[in-house]
Structure formats: structure tokens, C-alpha cells
Structure 1
């Protein structure tokens, strides 16, 4: 007598699936809201020069949260790290929401980043501990699908809030919802075991609590702090004199590259086959996409006179494309294979970026930006879940935390540094008199380069 195949909606997993999807929902809502209202925030707080660092600051401190939570989860399970991360996320939202100047606003974004980064890693470990490998694809597809509702209402709602009420409520409102979600998730996880299974990996897991490992964790935390500080320095370089900002940023990027080495799988920066290329692909693709996206609403608002509400439609279409493509990946990813997914995803994102580049260069119909960015979002939706699934497939219970944090570190560091460098290019190196052309040209080049690791990822035996 055959039994039904397990799903993420089985009675024993239903509560966990719902609870963690709620957290993804709120992260999506906040991300889309911030990108939509940041042009208004920067103008209101007189912080145009720090526009880019308002994004990169959160991503930079996210690296600290990722490393800390990854190590903490390997040592004692992901429950306490997850709860701590959620609290930090909410506190950061409150600080930014009540900020009276740009520097205080950025302080809130720094705190928020600690929580957001840690939450991502903790959720990856929760998935690895609770769901069998064959359900990893579907659960990450469900997480991506949690972007659907925020993508439909988030940018529009954030723009409407900024226009009709005040941009502050785009942060304070999410903080209130996060508090409610925290209570829900804590209830859903109560009594559920999140410890690693014993078995072949038990000796390695036991070794993880030895003093030497803890010393290694301290070193990794120090390196994460160095990476975060340098990434923030790159962002603030845009507010420095032109002759000083460039050299300072270049030096900070060099330090970041050195400090990252112990935080990533060996061979990552040279695109070694397998997991190293998966992690590198994530960093380069994320940097190219998010640096470009940060300037999409700004382009539509400043250059073409769109309202924040209407400018948010580009993010709405991108997020819907992301979620839809992620669902396709969850169903057909193994059949397509990593190489084919890499080609298709990069092509879609590149079409989107080039479309926005053309509009910014010849001042074509701005609605082309909205459609083009929908295609870029679809490319990311196809690529992101596949990279996460591959990371877990290359991992054991002894290194799930390290590998998950490495993936997220590459994501956040690549995004933070690229956004910050894009801010420098926007301010100091305009092409044909336009900083937007500089940003989107840089993004297109990075996407093309991302194919190098993208074609070396393998399938991890899937």
C-alpha cells in the first residue's frame, strides 16, 4: 500500500511553514517599501549624498548578523538566533521611522540589517532541520511566493503612505506587523525540535562545540565586523570630496576582499566548481540586480516626474515576476538543471537592465522601465531559489550554518559594495552627463561576468 508523498503543508509541518512564510512576507514588504520611499526620505532628511548608503548600510551589518547567527545556529540550533534577529529587525525599523536626520535614519538601518541578515540564515537552518531534502525546493518556492502579496500592494501602499500620510509610517507600520508576526512564529515553533539529527554527521557536529571552533567563530565575527565597517565606509565615500572618496572606497573594497576569504567556501573568489561558484554567483548577481533596482524609483521620480505610488509599479511587476519564476523553478528546476537556469536567468536580468539603460540614455517612454524591470525580477526569481537549494545540497548538518551564512554573506556583501560603488559612480563619474547611465552600465557588466561562476555550479548530485 503506497503512502502519499510528503509536502510542506503536511499537518506536522503546516504551522512551521505558515510561521516562517509570515516572516518572509514582512521582509518582502519592508524591502519593497524602503526602495519605493527612499527618494522621498533622502529629500526630506537632506541626505541625497547618502542615498546609496541607506541601502548598503543594512546589507553591510547584515553580514555580521549572518555570521553570528550561522555560528550560533550550528552550536545550539536556530531558535534563539531567529528570535533575536526578529527583535533587532523591529528595533531598527523604529529608529529609522522616528529619525530626524539622515545619520539617525542610517543608524536604524544598521540595526535593522543585523536582524534581517540573521533572520535569513536562521530560516535556512530551520528549513534544513525540519524539512527533508526533497522538500527544500518547494519550501523555498513558497518563501518566494510570499513576495506575491507584498509585491502587489507593497510599493503602491508605501508610495500612498508617503504621499497621503508620511514616509515614517512605511517603517513604523512594518515594525508593528513584525511584533505581531513574532508572537505567531514563537507559538508555531514552541515544542518543535530544531537540533541536528544524529548519524553520519554526529562526530562533526559534536566537534563544532569544541573550544577551537569557538575561537574560529570569534575570528569570523571580527572579520564580519571588518567587512561591514568597510562596506559602510564605501557608502559614505560618496559624501566625501571627489579626490578623497575614490581612493578611500578602493582601499575599503580591497580590505573587504581579504576579510571575506575565511567567511566563504575555499575557492569562492576564483570560481572553483561546486559550492564556491554557487556562492560567488549569488554575490555578483545580487550586486548587479539590487544596485540597479535602488535607482529605478529614483529615475522615475526625479527624471520623469512619477509620483512615489506610480513609480512603485516597477517594483511591483519585478516582485510578481520573481515570485512566478520562483514557482517555476520549484517545479521544474531539477529538470532544467543549473547551467540552463544560469543562462536563462542572466539573460532575463540583462534584458531588464539594458532596457532601463536605454531609457535613461535616450529618455524613451518611461513605462519601458516598468516592463523591463519585470523581466529582471523574473530572472532573479528563477536564479535565487536554485542557488539556495544547491547550497543545502552541498551541505551536511555540521556545516549548514556556515554554508547558509556564506551564501547570505556573499549576497549582502556583493549588494552592499555594489550599491555603494554605484553611488560613487552616480555622484562622481556620470556617463554622457547622467549618473543613471553609469549605474546601469556597471550592472550590465557585472551580470555578464556572473556567467563565469554560473556555468561552474554543478547540480550537487540532484
Structure 2
């Protein structure tokens, strides 16, 4: 009886942690749809159509600046103070972006909000990998995937309706309550748990990781100077190699190859998804309302497909096959007929491909090594988010000149991800907790 009384608070904390992770995934979905739907409107209002990379990469740049510092901050400040600091930075950054009159101020606000997000990302995810039992992990996988279904169905339309009624500035602030609620739940569950990061966890600060945001910033700010952009891309690549486990760049079979595939997937898919409304309104000549329908098609298909894949055994080459489908979808968007129906079907198929690939690829990335939970969490966050950062930064820079060229690059990156996934090995039989670095 006494043992049960001791265990019950921990079990309750694990449930709150799972709920918080799922809530943050829902908030990530809402934030993603709001930002992507509003992008053409924000670019036009701020006169920044030629600075798309600046508009879409600020938040992810901030996330990467915070990641090398998050463990130290948590170790020294504790979960409660870190939450207070992160909340202040997040709200302040979004308010700055929502009141911006120039693209630079908008990007600075997004950067600040992204920095706040990074303060808790590694802490919450490593706690989930370490603490949640197998049954609860499987539920988190399914529930996290499902959190993208409702926002995909109503998010773009609701965003446009709210923008029409209140303007894009107020609409940008709409996800704040859900984000804050999810963060409070996570910190409540893991308060006092110092193993996830910081000095108590034994993880060292890795300044080389700052090469990633510095390099991506150089790509964003190059403004047509391709030599500077190339140097920035090389710096970001060097930082990525320094952050990820050995063998990732060489596609060593198993988890390293899976992490490489995750990074390439992030670059190709996140980059393509962030610019889909611009491609359709500029390149296809469709209205923003119809572009928003296509925007929601991929994550809706992703969520529905993942719900099925997470409950069945993933085939040996299922991640590779799914990524190949998504690569083909990006290629159709780049070179196919400029018809709304073609874009809708192609991007929905691309989302289904991600749904086939992502659960197995995530599992392979977070198992099969002797790394600690904190190291696994850092590796998978780094792989997916650095890919997304470079996809947004590089894709935005390319799209400022030719959005079609950007989608050709996205298709090539996804094809490379599919090739890397063929070396990721068989999916493990024991699932790990899924969350995503998309959390805002």
C-alpha cells in the first residue's frame, strides 16, 4: 500500500507530461497553420515579398540559438524560473512581431519567440523518452499525430476568417493561450526533475551548435550574394555534423542514417510546406482561400495515415517508400500542370507519404544506440529542426527569385532522405515517445 502511495504522484506526473506534450503538439499545429496561411498577407503588408526567408526563418533561428543553452539554463534556474523567462520571451516576441511595421522587426519578434520555445524543448522531450512507459508512449504517438487533424481541417479557414475580422496582427496572437497551457502542463509534470539537462544531467554545452543558426542567418541575409549564402550553408552543415552522433554524415546503418534522413526530410518537407501558399498564389494564380485548402491537405493526410501506421508493425522500407512519395509530390508541384486540383491531390499524397515514413523514422532515430535519453532527445530535435531551419532559410532565399526552383530543391532533398532511410535499419519493436520540434 505504501509503495502504491509513493508511485501514484509519479504516475500522475507522467500523465500530465503526456497531456502537456500532446497539447504542445496541438499548439504547434495551430501556430504552423496560422503562420503559413498569413505569409502572403504579411509579406504584402510589410513590403517583404523579396525577403521571404527573413519572414519564415526567424522562429527556427531562435530555437537553435536556445538549444545549446537550454540545458545550462534549466540546471541553473530550475523548471519554474525557466518557464517564467520563456513565457515572457515568447509573449513579448509575438507581440513585437504582431506590431511590426518592417520585415526586420517581424523577424526579430519571431526570433525571440523561437528562443523561448527552445528553452523547454529538450527538457520536455528527454523527460518523455525517459519516463513514459511503453503503453503511454504508444498513446502519445497516436495522439500527437491526431493533433494535426483538426487544425488541418479548420485551421486555414479559421485563420482567414479571423484575419478578415481582426487583421493579421491579432490573428498572429491566437495560438498563445494553447501554447502557454501546454508549457505549464509539461513543467508541472517534470518540476524538480534535473536529469533532462543542465549540469545535473552531465551534458556539456556545445558551442559548435551555434554554427547552425549563424550559417542559416547568413543564408537568409545574403540578399542575392550567393558566395555568402554558400559559406553560410557550409557553416550550418558543419554545426549539424558537430551536434549529431558520429556516423550520421556517413549514413552509418541504423540510428545515424535515420537521423540523416530526418534532417533531409525536415529540409525538404518543412521548407515546402512553409511556402505552399506563396507557390499557389504566385505560381498557380489561385486565391489565398484555395491555397489554404491545399495547405491543410498534407498534414491532414499525414495525421490520418500516422494513426494507422503507429498501430501496426512498420515495414522495413516503409520510411523510404513514404519519403519517395513525398519527393514525387514536391516534384509535381514544381513541374506539373498549374492546376488547383493537381496541387491538392499531389500535396495530400505528399502528406500521406510523410504519415507512412515519420513514425518508423522517428522510432529508428531514438533507439538502437547507447546514448542517454537527453542525448537522444537532442539528436532527434536537432536533426529534424536543423533540416527545417535550412529548408526555410534556403527555400525562402530561392523563392525570392523563383519559387519553382525552391520546389525543385525540396524534391531533391526529399529524394535524398528516401535514400538515407534505406540504411536506417528495421524499425524497433519497442516504441519511444513521439513529439516534434515543431512545438512553438
TM range (shorter): 0.7 to 0.9
- Residue 438 of structure 2 corresponds to none
- The question of 1:267 aligning with 2:247 is answered yes
Q: Could you tell me which of 354, 373, 377 is aligned with 2:351?
A: 377
Q: Could you tell me which of 395, 398, 401 is aligned with 1:425?
A: 398
- Residue 166 of structure 1 corresponds to 167
Q: How does 1:291-310 map onto structure 2 within 5 Å?
A: 291-310=271-290
Q: CA deviation digits over 1:92-139, x for unaligned, max 9?
A: 222211212111100011112223344443332131232124543431
Any unmatched runs of 5+ in structure 2? 1-10, 430-440
Q: CA deviation digits over 1:313-343, x for unaligned, max 9?
A: 11211111111122122101xx223x32223
> Which whole-Å CA distance do the structure 1 matches of 2:293 and 2:233 have between them?
34
- The question of 1:394 aligning with 2:368 is answered yes
> Which whole-Å CA distance do the structure 2 matches of 1:385 and 1:252 have between them?
31
Q: How does 1:228-243 map onto structure 2 within 5 Å?
A: 228-237=213-222, 240=223, 242=224
Q: How does 1:222-371 map onto structure 2 within 5 Å?
A: 222-237=207-222, 240=223, 242=224, 245-332=225-312, 335-337=313-315, 339-359=316-336, 362-363=337-338, 365-371=339-345
- Residue 386 of structure 2 corresponds to 413
> Which whole-Å CA distance do the structure 2 matches of 1:76 and 1:46 have between them?
41
> Which whole-Å CA distance do the structure 1 matches of 2:184 and 2:376 have between them?
29
Q: TM-score normalized by structure 2? A: 0.85
> Which whole-Å CA distance do the structure 2 matches of 1:357 and 1:155 have between them?
22
- Residue 121 of structure 1 corresponds to 122
- The question of 1:438 aligning with 2:372 is answered no
Residue aligned with 2:175, SS: helix
Q: Is the 2:280–2:286 contact (alpha carbons within 8 Å) kept by the matching residues of 1?
A: yes
> Which whole-Å CA distance do the structure 2 matches of 1:134 and 1:392 have between them?
17
- Residue 110 of structure 1 corresponds to 111
Seen in structure 2, the aligned counterparts of structure 1 residues 91 and 277 have a Cα distance that, compared at 3 Å, is: farther
Any unmatched runs of 5+ in structure 1? 1-9, 198-204, 429-434
> Which whole-Å CA distance do the structure 1 matches of 2:18 and 2:83 have between them?
15
Seen in structure 2, the aligned counterparts of structure 1 residues 83 and 155 have a Cα distance that, compared at 3 Å, is: farther
Deviation at 1:63, TM superposition (A): 1.8
After the TM superposition, which of the residue ranges 20-29 and 64-73 deviates more from structure 2?
64-73
- The question of 1:96 aligning with 2:92 is answered no
Q: How does 1:124-135 map onto structure 2 within 5 Å?
A: 124-133=125-134, 135=136
Deviation at 1:354, TM superposition (A): 2.4
> Which whole-Å CA distance do the structure 2 matches of 1:182 and 1:421 have between them?
30
Q: Is the 1:33–1:154 contact (alpha carbons within 8 Å) kept by the matching residues of 2?
A: yes
Deviation at 1:404, TM superposition (A): 1.4
Question: In angstroms, what is the RMSD of aligned CA positions?
Answer: 3.0
Deviation at 1:85, TM superposition (A): 4.5
Q: CA deviation digits over 1:219-260, x for unaligned, max 9?
A: x1x2232321220110122xx3x4xx1000001111222222
Deviation at 1:286, TM superposition (A): 1.1
Q: CA deviation digits over 1:324-379, x for unaligned, max 9?
A: 122122101xx223x322232113212321231234xx43x222212211111222
> Which whole-Å CA distance do the structure 1 matches of 2:396 and 2:382 have between them?
21
- Number of aligned residue pairs: give it: 419
Seen in structure 2, the aligned counterparts of structure 1 residues 122 and 185 have a Cα distance that, compared at 3 Å, is: closer
